[in-house]
């Protein structure tokens, strides 16, 4: 089985994730799911880039340690990836010991190859890029070409990497198509390398928050050399178990793809392959640089307040429509603009209308004709098949070329044909007269089979909703493999589940005016971690007065509280002793879950749970904003 290794960039932890980070990760996830569908052994990694001066600065400004800052942002990434259905195999953090080991190992190899030396270094430095620029790149104004902010002249003794030595080998690599994609980006990188490479400083003096440079006290590893090595750390490079590394990086059977935004192409397509050459390691098969998302045609910048309100979209619509929009709207490789209007239009026309309506129409007709089942007769000679077969071939080609928007367009050709076919065959006419013959069976089977193929192709893009569509046409998505991407898979006479609307239309005017909360479809609700208001009300939350408090002997964390909830007295054990003294709690009001099953903790029965915010694992108790009668319900 071919081995497919796929990575996203590792994201900085100085800010919360936004649409750009989501985009690369969703693209990579779609590709990972597709490769699994067609039978590859896939290893898919993502993670966070936690060192460097920017993280130090932001942590200082917030009064936390860089590690605390990183932990906070990382937990947000974990939540978001779960919410978006990202199926990564591992999540690497550059503060992990396994990463430090891998960095030490790659440096050892580069050094053994004679490619490192010490030299004095002076240059124009952009702290946001963590990189030095030449006079030519920054122009007379000395502005960073990426951030358009001032650069600083810096001078220090550093370890240098003989990048210039690799110029010819890099050019030979770009001569192979596929090395850097799309082609326009490959040409851009080639021109940069042809213009001449200078050796690269790969250490920094006096930067406390980084990986110490082996053999050079007081120096840390240049963040890009360090960060790029994550692609090997996650595979165990430099550690005791080399299995993943050998399977997915060294192995001649492996394909290695880095998915990145165009902003970090140079690091991935010039520095990284040169580091790998120096370390005697195989190069990536492909570095793919995609374009940028703009917001309403403007560059996304949080300071201007124009970032996409992702939480809102995800809460209202669920992950899959957002995934679909991102992959359909951007011609992969180019820039695209995110607008609320475009999102609603795509949702209504592609999902609610083309997919949702076609599906529900067919399911309704088939249920009516065949007593709640799929048709009993299949058909191998018809216009839906004639359209679907080349469309599926085009879909597969597009997926191989990372042309995700084209792959989706091909699937939609099938839907268009299914609709035309139904209109021309008019199966409803016979059904109205209660005629259910083989012809009706074949027409409906063909239509449903078209939808089944579309849903199968959609599995990598919209994993939850595509599985729901498959279920709606009588197919269990659990056992779907590459064979399902061929005509003929719709089972005969199997029960169709009860009809429900998978993609309810959005009221565009109301949505754009911000008046209504668009509905989340039933299926998304079931498959996401959202709960209904009724679910929420199952939890009884009440205000309690703390009458007594004492530490539980021999326990580091536990305090026993005697509380009054309305008329009732209860004993509640809380894990707050590391943050609170027992005495200071007496007389306070807290909020308690009063309908939890009792549990025994260190021999004491706890009849409830005290609510506390968890700040880096430390509890901070929740109190009502003003004194209220005990037993007051919280909702």
Q: Which of 62, 78, 120, 147 is catalytic?
A: 147
Q: Which of 144, 268, 385, 425 is catalytic?
A: 144
Least gap, CB of 571 to ligand MSP (angstroms): 48
Scanning 8-16, 100-108, 409-417, 452-460 for contacts with ligand MSP by CB under 6 A, the matching segment is: 8-16
Active site residue 379: no
Using DSSP bridges, classify how beta strands 90-93 and 293-295 pair: parallel, antiparallel or unpaired: unpaired
Placement of tokens 């429509």 in the chain: 321
Work out whether 179 is an interface residue with ligand MSP (CB under 6 A).
no
Least gap, CB of 259 to ligand MSP (angstroms): 7
CA-based nearest residue to 493, from 436, 453, 455: 436
Q: Which of 6, 10, 344, 462 binds ligand MSP (CB under 6 A)?
A: 10
Query: What is the x/- site pattern for ligand MSP, positions 520-559, by CB under 6 A?
Result: ----------------------------------------
What is the C-alpha separation between 47 and 88, in angstroms, rounded?
10
3-state secondary structure 423-451: HHHCHHHHHHCCCCCHHHHHHHHHHHHHH
Active site residue 299: yes
What is the C-alpha separation between 526 and 543, in angstroms, rounded?
31
Placement of tokens 């004993």 in the chain: 571
Active site residue 144: yes
Query: What is the x/- site pattern for ligand MSP, positions 203-242, by CB under 6 A?
Result: ------------------------xx-x------------
Q: What torsion, rounded to 10 degrees, do the Cα atoms 56, 58, 63, 68 define?
A: -70
- From residue 197, alpha-carbon distances to 168, 226, 389 in Å are 10, 20, 49
| Residues 249-268 interacting with ligand MSP (rule: CB under 6 A) | 260-261, 263-264
| Residues 280-339 interacting with ligand MSP (rule: CB under 6 A) | 292-293, 300
Q: Which of 51, 100, 129, 425 is catalytic?
A: 129
CA-based nearest residue to 307, from 320, 324, 293: 293
Work out whether 49 is an interface residue with ligand MSP (CB under 6 A).
yes
Residue 588 contacts residue 579 (beta carbons within 8 Å): no
What is the C-alpha separation between 70 and 59, in angstroms, rounded?
9
What is the C-alpha separation between 571 and 326, in angstroms, rounded?
51
| Residues 16-45 interacting with ligand MSP (rule: CB under 6 A) | 20-21, 23-24
Q: Which of 6, 9, 287, 475 binds ligand MSP (CB under 6 A)?
A: 9
Q: Given the complex with ligand MSP, which of 11 and 511 has the nearer CB atom?
A: 11
Q: Which of 88, 126, 258, 385 is catalytic?
A: 126
What is the C-alpha separation between 55 and 94, in angstroms, rounded?
12
Work out whether 91 is an interface residue with ligand MSP (CB under 6 A).
no
CA-based nearest residue to 580, from 556, 547, 604: 556
Least gap, CB of 409 to ligand MSP (angstroms): 21
Q: Given the complex with ligand MSP, which of 264 and 559 has the nearer CB atom?
A: 264
Least gap, CB of 592 to ligand MSP (angstroms): 40
What is the C-alpha separation between 460 and 404, in angstroms, rounded?
10
| Residues 612-631 interacting with ligand MSP (rule: CB under 6 A) | none
CA-based nearest residue to 192, from 224, 167, 173, 222: 167
- Site of interaction with ligand MSP (CB under 6 A): 9-12, 20-21, 23-24, 49, 227-228, 230, 260-261, 263-264, 292-293, 300
Active site residues: 18, 21, 126, 129, 144, 147, 299, 302
């Amino acid at each position: 089985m071919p081995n497919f290794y796929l990575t996203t960039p590792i994201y900085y932890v100085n800010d919360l994730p936004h649409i750009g980070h989501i985009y690369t990760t969703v693209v990579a996830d779609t590709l990972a799911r597709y490769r699994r569908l067609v039978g590859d052994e896939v290893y898919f990694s993502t993670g966070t880039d936690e060192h460097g001066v920017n993280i130090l600065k932001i942590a200082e400004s917030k009064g936390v340690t860089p590690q605390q800052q990183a932990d906070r942002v990382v937990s947000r990434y974990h939540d978001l990836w779960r919410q978006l259905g990202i199926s990564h195999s591992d999540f690497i953090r550059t503060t992990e010991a396994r990463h430090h080991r891998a960095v030490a190992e790659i440096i050892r190899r580069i050094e053994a190859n004679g490619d490192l030396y010490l030299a004095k270094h002076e240059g124009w430095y952009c702290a946001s890029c963590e990189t030095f620029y030449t006079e030519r790149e920054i122009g007379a104004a000395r502005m960073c070409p990426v951030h358009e902010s001032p650069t600083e002249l810096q001078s220090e003794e550093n370890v240098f990497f003989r990048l210039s030595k690799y110029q010819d080998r890099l050019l030979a690599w770009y001569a192979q198509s596929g090395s850097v994609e799309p082609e326009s980006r490959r040409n851009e990188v080639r021109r940069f390398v042809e213009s001449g490479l200078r050796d690269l400083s790969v250490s920094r003096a006096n930067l406390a928050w980084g990986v110490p440079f082996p053999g050079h006290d007081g120096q840390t590893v240049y963040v890009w050399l360090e960060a790029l090595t994550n692609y090997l750390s996650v595979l165990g490079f430099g550690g005791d178990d080399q299995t993943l590394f050998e399977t997915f990086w060294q192995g001649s059977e492996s394909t290695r793809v880095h998915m990145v935004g165009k902003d970090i192409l140079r690091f991935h397509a010039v520095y990284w392959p040169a580091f790998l050459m120096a370390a005697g390691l195989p190069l990536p098969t492909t570095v793919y640089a995609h374009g940028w998302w703009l917001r309403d045609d403007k560059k996304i910048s949080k300071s201007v307040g124009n970032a996409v309100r992702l939480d809102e979209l995800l809460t209202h619509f669920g992950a899959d429509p957002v995934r679909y929009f991102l992959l359909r709207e951007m011609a992969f490789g180019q820039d695209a603009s995110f607008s609320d209007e475009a999102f609603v239009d795509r949702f209504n026309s592609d999902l609610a209308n083309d997919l949702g309506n076609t599906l529900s129409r067919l399911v309704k007709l088939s249920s009516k004709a065949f007593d709640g089942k799929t048709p009993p007769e299949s058909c191998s000679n018809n216009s839906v098949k004639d359209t679907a077969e080349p469309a599926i071939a085009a879909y597969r080609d597009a997926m191989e070329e990372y042309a995700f928007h084209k792959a989706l367009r091909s699937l939609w050709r099938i839907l268009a044909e299914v609709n035309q076919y139904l209109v021309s065959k008019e199966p409803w006419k016979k059904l109205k007269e209660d005629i259910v013959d083989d012809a009706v069976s074949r027409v409906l089977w063909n239509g449903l089979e078209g939808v089944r193929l579309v849903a199968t192709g959609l599995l990598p893009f919209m994993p939850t909703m595509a599985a729901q569509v498959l279920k709606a046409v009588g197919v269990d998505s659990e056992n779907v493999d590459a064979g399902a991407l061929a005509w003929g898979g719709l089972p005969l006479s199997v029960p169709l589940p009860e009809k429900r609307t998978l993609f309810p239309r959005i009221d565009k005017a109301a949505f754009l005016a911000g008046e209504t909360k668009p509905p989340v479809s039933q299926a998304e609700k079931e498959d996401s971690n959202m709960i209904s208001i009724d679910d929420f009300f199952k939890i009884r939350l009440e205000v309690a007065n703390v009458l007594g408090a004492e530490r539980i002997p021999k326990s580091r964390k536990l305090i026993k509280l005697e509380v009054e909830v309305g008329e009732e007295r209860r004993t509640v054990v809380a894990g707050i002793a590391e943050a609170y003294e027992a005495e200071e709690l007496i007389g306070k009001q807290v909020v308690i879950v009063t309908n939890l099953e009792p549990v025994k903790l260190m021999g004491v029965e706890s009849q409830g749970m005290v609510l506390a915010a968890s700040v880096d694992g430390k509890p901070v108790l929740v109190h009502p904003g003003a004194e209220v009668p005990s037993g007051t319900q919280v909702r």
